Amino acid sequence: MSSEILLNAENINQNAWGAINGCEAASMLAGLHYQHHALDINYGQFLLEMPISPDANPYRGFGGSPFKNQKGKFEAIFVRPLILWASRYGHLQDLSGANPEWLYEAVKAGNPVLTFVTVHFADPEWEQYPFGKVPVNNHAVLLDGLKADQVHVSDPIDGKYWLSKDQFERIYNLRRMAITILK
């Protein structure tokens, strides 16, 4: 691919809002805003509407609190409950299991993609929980750009930046969890 695509989605800094664990909601709302959905909702309001899992299982809702770490809880929300919640604001498509090229095709079509990765794209730090083995350095970013050998992300912790496709794919491919935010 010789041309550059940059959707230039908004960047929501989760730490500026005191939401140390709020990356999924920040990335989702940035994608919704990019598609002109939920424009009357700010990040703080959005976080307060996020479904909380009573048993701290991120496959059922957010596991804990986006505002603090709680011993024994995995503070995250995974694809299914995130889609069930956020689809009231816009059209979403589960791309979990998709090969990275599918994500790139979505971006080329003008649709940013929320992807589950790790903080700073570091090697995963796996731990076992009652619901399964997950990286405790779990993170979600919004994929919103492409060029030859790089991708662009809007990262709720580190801001907007380009990184190598190799680095992105190495971490994304560990779990292959993604959601496209459609027009």
Question: Which domain CATH number covers 166?
Answer: 3.90.70.10
- Distances from the Cα of 154 to the Cα of 41, 71, 125, 129, 163, angstroms: 19, 29, 22, 29, 11
pLDDT digits (tens, 9 = 90+) for 130-162: 999 999 999 999 999 999 999 999 999 999 999
CA distance 35 to 183: 5
Q: What is the pLDDT of residue 1?
A: 46
Amino acid identity at 119: V
Structural domain containing residue 98: 5-181
pLDDT digits (tens, 9 = 90+) for 65-91: 999 999 989 999 999 999 999 999 999
Among candidates 153, 84, 163, 171, which has minimal Cα distance to 114?
153
Residue 166's CB is within 10 A of a number of other CB atoms, namely 10
Q: Indicate the number of domains in the chain.
A: 1
Both tokens of 52, joined, read: 């909380």
The torsion angles phi and psi of 62, rounded to 5 degrees, stand at -75, 130
Residue 160's CB is within 10 A of a number of other CB atoms, namely 17
pLDDT higher than threshold 60 for residue 2: no
pLDDT interval class at 121 (50, 70, 90): very high
